[in-house]
Amino acid sequence: YIAPLKALVRERMSDWRVKFVEKLQLKMQELTGDVTPDSRALSSAHILATTPEKWDGVSRHWQQRAYVRKVKLVIIDEIHLLGEE
């Protein structure tokens, strides 16, 4: 999940904690400029919530990052905001 603002990432993490973590026992990780988990935590996550800048940085080296290669679905929230000044 990619959101243009850290605040939106945090909001989704909070909203989804009950739905996905508590009820479905899935693991989520936030990946933003403020929060950078280690690669083991990222690899074990079922859901990553990140900002475009952070995802751009980690996905550029996808050959060396197993957690990037494991991604099956990307959801981009507020896509109309990307590229606006």
List pLDDT tens digits, range 47-76: 999 999 999 998 998 888 989 999 999 999
Mean of per-residue pLDDT scores for the chain: 90
Using CA atoms, how far residue 20 sits from 16, 29, 44, 53, 58, in Å, is 6, 12, 14, 25, 24
Is residue 34's pLDDT more than 90?
A: no
pLDDT at position 46:
95
The pTM of the full predicted model, rounded to 2 decimals, is 0.83
Is residue 80's pLDDT more than 70?
A: no
